[in-house]
Chain A
């Protein structure tokens, strides 16, 4: 019997065990990737570094510089648009469906009216009533009040997205107070014809004209969209890097008849489709749209485990380790309470922050108040199902609340659509209607006596801002703390700079310290069990030492 067992088991064992160990070790060598990672360059897939990759549309068949229609001269932007529409006959109707034109979005699930045209934020608060200034970033010409004709396709601004001279700009649609309008004096005249002949697929700089400067300055709003992305190194953004893939924004935000993939209002926080069928273009701008649902090559235990993480952790959480990288800071705190101070009756501003790229930033402006900046900052992390919950002008809230979330969000471990996502947290003290417990529209930009930017009377600015849209105002305003949450999704670092496991899996200072609903190895433990275990092991050691000492020093210690 014994012999039979030995005959069977020993050769089997001697062959199998080392093999298993070897397989495990080879598989396990994935862990040493960490050291080898620096030697992983992502080669440029586009040898012509001057050309950004714009999604599925490649290699145009027309040189717009040769079109007689675009020779000019053009008196206005609308004249250029008419020339564009002469060939692109359906584009106007397509374009007018997208939110760059409508600034309006109705949540299909809740029916709630959203969109820049209506919402309040905790930066410059409201565009409504301030279109003369805010609509510089509307993809059209001349929106300064409610009279704007949203059905006039000749008012579409084609150039802002498609011109590539880099000299194109728009000034406010109305003059504003003299104190503010000086900002736009002395701008060089536009060569619309040159801009028209330069049209091409949108470049990062085109989208950046508005999306990098929202909220009144470079990277002010998002934290992950700044002028640093115009010509970023691969280390700042692995997709957009000029020494890497050199993607334009439209490589991911693909368009279908001038409607873009990727939504601010209803985010897909867990893509369950992945890359879809061959030949089918992904219609959402998620990481999974290109990288699939198991993005890490399954060649090590570590990668197998990482793919497992995709279920509950957004790609962004590990692959965007910091916000506001690349030398451009973002605003994290804005205090409207201090706005309106003047010197000798005039507004003024102070510089007090020098950001990574050496540029000085304003820390106080009479028209806006005090700002606090941050860069290379660690995001906040939370379960996110993609649904933002907006506090609109109609929402009544309890003014005694600690703070108001202008755009809260939902999500939990129990929700199969939720994942842990990184956010920029924006904190603001901003005006509200003390009597009614609602946010307010304030008239900031304008030529009249009530516009805050010039006259510095918040009470009058709110009264005007509310009255213009027939909204009730109690007449008494105060300041309330508000938060807004900005899901972070850009400035994806190269994989060698992604978070390390230990950044989350550690008992102290875990990035996910505040995230609930999960058991996170390394972060979580039972204190009582740890104490009892330590006592058991420590007690055993102590017992051994005492036992040994008694043996050594006992009188008849014959050291048996």
Chain B
């Protein structure tokens, strides 16, 4: 096992990540405007941007699901308890002592267990909650004559809002954690260049050198 600079984030992943970041920021900003939390833009602008960003993000997600399954990258998001305790202990305690982050990125597994669990929850709980309620909300005109429609809309809007609060909290933690372990810059750069320090097994290294020489430096 030896540390190498390896391309772990493909161009698509980086595009996905940053496009998603912009869209989610726009959605949070405009969504809380529609909700009445701020008056930074007109209601009409907020609704239009929110809807446009949401439709764009849904398409991006559709592509990403396709990509995740065809490239088998979905494996990175499989949860595991292995090493979880170490990571949690590190953030709660070890980090204050100046300890090293216990997790080593592997080529086949680029997220630590806490990250994998957090992203998985985001993908299978929070995101579906927000886009399902959002679509129902967006298409209210198609079902507004069903009995009890306003009451249902009320419930849907509340789930949507609750999910938005949680996503905002996630974003805050996500950005903060970039400052831990290494420097902020070191954390962000892999998502820009695609390359990060990864512990490679000799077999992985041999494979990369032979079949994907551009992905290892």
Contacts and interface: CB of A to CB of B under 8 A. Distances in A.
A301 B48 contact: yes
B42 A502 contact: yes
A127 B96 CA distance: 88
Given A17-B60, A21-B56, A525-B161, A28 B98 contact: no
Interface string A483-517: 00000000000000000111001110000000001
Contacts of B141: 308, 311
A277 B133 CA distance: 39
B121 interface: no
Contacts of B162: 529, 532-533
A40 to B, nearest CB: 16
Residues of B contacting A: mostly: helix
Contact of B35 (A27, A308, A525, A537): A525
Given A1-B71, A501-B47, A536-B165, A525 B36 contact: yes
B158 interface: yes
A506 B168 contact: no
Contacts of B164: 533
Interface in B78-108: 95-101
B12 interface: yes
Interface stretch (A5-13, A257-265, A447-455, A469-477): A5-13
B179 A548 contact: yes
Contacts of B47: 31, 301-302, 305, 501
A544 interface: yes
A544 B177 CA distance: 9
Interface in B1-50: 10-12, 15, 19, 34-36, 39, 42-45, 47-49
Most chain B C-beta atoms within 10 Å of own C-beta, residue among A4, A517, A547, A550: A547
B44 A34 contact: yes
Given A529-B161, A529-B162, A537-B168, A557 B98 contact: yes
Nearest to B141: A308
A165 interface: no
B193 interface: no
B154 interface: yes
A547 B101 CA distance: 16
A537 B11 contact: no
Contact of B48 (A28, A523, A533, A550): A28
B172 interface: yes
A312 B153 CA distance: 15
B66 interface: yes
A501 B53 CA distance: 20
Given A24-B52, A522-B35, A537-B169, A560 B12 contact: no
Which interface class (under 10, 10 to 19, 20 to 34, 35 or more) fits B?
35 or more
Interface string A260-301: 000000000000000000000000000000000000000011
Contacts of A518: 150
A551 interface: yes
A25 interface: yes
B180 A560 contact: yes
Given A302-B48, A308-B141, A416-B145, A5 B161 contact: no
A521 B35 contact: yes
Contact of B161 (A30, A533, A554): A533
A299 B165 CA distance: 33
A556 interface: yes
A28 B48 CA distance: 6
Contacts of A537: 165, 168-169, 172
Nearest to A552: B96
A89 interface: no
10 nearest interchain CB pairs? A558-B98, A533-B165, A24-B52, A5-B70, A501-B43, A507-B36, A554-B96, A28-B48, A540-B169, A31-B45
Given A301-B52, A302-B47, A505-B34, 13 more contacts: A10-B12, A17-B63, A27-B52, A31-B44, A312-B144, A501-B47, A502-B42, A519-B153, A519-B157, A529-B158, A533-B164, A550-B96, A560-B95
Interface of B: 10-12, 15, 19, 34-36, 39, 42-45, 47-49, 51-53, 55-56, 59-60, 63, 66-67, 70-72, 95-101, 141, 144-145, 150-151, 153-154, 157-158, 161-162, 164-166, 168-169, 172-173, 176, 179-182
